[in-house]
């Protein structure tokens, strides 16, 4: 299966530098985020997408709906693709990064999850793709998700994951 993975478009929380893993919070694409999603849609226009997987967070669904205007593929909401539960909901990303700096792979804040725990969640979803019959699908999720997928694609050591960075609506292509 060919998989096109992209991070959601820019959001109001990106602009404010805040953490969000709660789907009920009012986190939405900005005008710039909509433009990024439109550019991703154009880049994927000629790909024969049969399905698009998204997290429960509205920003991924908003991005996927824009990308899907060219495809009309079914959208599947997958809780395993939700953003990492940082334990810093609504707080600054800088505070979160500072709190886990001593061990970015295993540290967690409060009731949050570590990047290693998050990786296990996403890898479970990737394993489930092997049972599917589609030949080309897209996945719209979060930067942490792309870190895990890129690391999986490239066979990277887990300690490399926190160092990876992906722009809003950046597209990764891989085979599952």
The pLDDT tens digits of the residues spanning 152-170 come to: 999 999 999 999 999 999 9
What integer pLDDT is reported at residue 116 of this predicted model? 95
* Contact residues for 136 (Cβ-Cβ < 8 A; gap 6+): 1, 2, 3, 4, 47, 48, 49, 50
For the chain, the structural domain boundaries read 2-175
CA 118, CA 163: separation in Å to the nearest integer?
A: 15
CA 97, CA 163: separation in Å to the nearest integer?
A: 12
Superfamily of domain 2-175: Phosphoglycerate mutase-like (3.40.50.1240)
CA–centroid distance for 171 within its chain: 11
The pLDDT tens digits of the residues spanning 103-143 come to: 999 999 999 999 999 999 999 999 999 899 999 999 999 99
The pLDDT tens digits of the residues spanning 76-104 come to: 999 999 999 999 999 999 999 999 999 99
């Amino acid at each position: 299966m060919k998989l096109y993975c992209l991070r959601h478009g820019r959001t109001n929380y990106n602009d404010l530098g805040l953490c969000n893993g709660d789907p009920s919070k009012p986190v939405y694409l900005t005008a710039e985020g909509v433009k990024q999603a439109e550019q991703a849609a154009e880049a994927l226009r000629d790909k024969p997408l049969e399905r698009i997987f998204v997290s429960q967070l509205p920003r991924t669904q908003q991005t996927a709906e824009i990308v899907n205007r060219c495809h009309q593929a079914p959208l599947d909401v997958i809780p395993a693709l939700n953003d990492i539960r940082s334990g810093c909901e609504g707080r600054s990303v800088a505070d979160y990064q500072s709190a886990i700096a001593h061990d970015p792979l295993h540290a967690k804040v409060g009731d949050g999850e570590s990047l290693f725990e998050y990786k296990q969640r996403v890898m479970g979803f990737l394993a489930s793709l092997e049972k599917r019959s589609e030949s080309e699908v897209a996945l719209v999720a979060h930067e942490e998700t792309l870190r895990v997928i890129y690391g999986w694609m490239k066979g990277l050591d887990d300690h490399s994951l926190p160092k990876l960075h992906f722009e809003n609506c950046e597209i990764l292509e891989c085979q599952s």
